Structure 1
Amino acid sequence: MRNHNDEKSALEEAAISIFINIYNFNRQDDLKVVEKQECPDYILKNIKGGFIGVEVTHLFYDSEEAKMLLGRSDKEFHALESSTHYIKTLNELLKQKEKKIDKYDVVYPVALLVRNASPVYGMSDFLKYKNEIYKPEKYSHIWFVSKDGNNNEWLLKDLLTD
């Protein structure tokens, strides 16, 4: 079994890699990781030399789904899932992360990167409820990375913009 910190670090590394690839492709930028740290998780530098901190988190429907997806559960099936419950879970996560940003001692903007881990709910499911998603404005961006339906490609949306 993997050490919790190793697993967390691997998940964060995968999420930041997915994000950087999509971001750079869509914006003809060249974001690069400058430093991996604790608060925020990553410091990135853009093509113009500007810095941005990125706090990385993962969204699971609940702790049982997380255990199943991370190989820590013997269950083969998860209970029925409700999209409204999943939006509520996302909002709770965003409020929790909003409290964390006040502890950062940084001079550059900080963004939140949320990677949707659900094999059931994709980007279009979240966009249907976009107006119900909490928007912590202390972050410069709330980047949401998710797959969608049978499309196996990752998609990126800033939840703070329309």
Structure 2
Amino acid sequence: MLDLAGIDVEEIATALADQTDYEHRWLLDPRTGQVVFWTSDTGIDGENPVEIDELDLIPIDPIPSYVWYQDMADFAEGISDEAASRGLARALQGRGAFRRFKDELYEHHPELVPAWQALRDSRAQRRAVEWLLDHALIDDDAADKFAADHPDPALP
């Protein structure tokens, strides 16, 4: 088992959110908890190509976008500013919702950005810890303590 205190949970959260379709992967070393970035052209050291199957590392596959979408919907629904709530909910309709949500938030409601970032980051980090638990890299007690210590923040 890894010590959760020595793992960069934010980096795993970033990997879980990475929805790009490029020739790269995020991987975790199960012995150390270190996250590495692999590309087909430069391997993990940035210079030497290596096949991903040759590495004794665990791929960090992204969580489906509908999970991250739900965070935006929960934020839009949970804020008390009714006008901002309606605008953000409208931005979430149809294709391009992620970009429209971000544009609406940053351009029309910048005062809500810190609250959005706090909610997004808190949930992403809990998902990263759940991922570690699902891969038997940390124990239940560490995951439960992290979740208890990182609840969703109160929304304005």
Question: TM-score, normalization: structure 2?
Answer: 0.34
Question: TM-score, normalization: structure 1?
Answer: 0.33
| Larger-gyration structure (1/2) | 2
- Could you say which structure has the higher helix fraction? 2
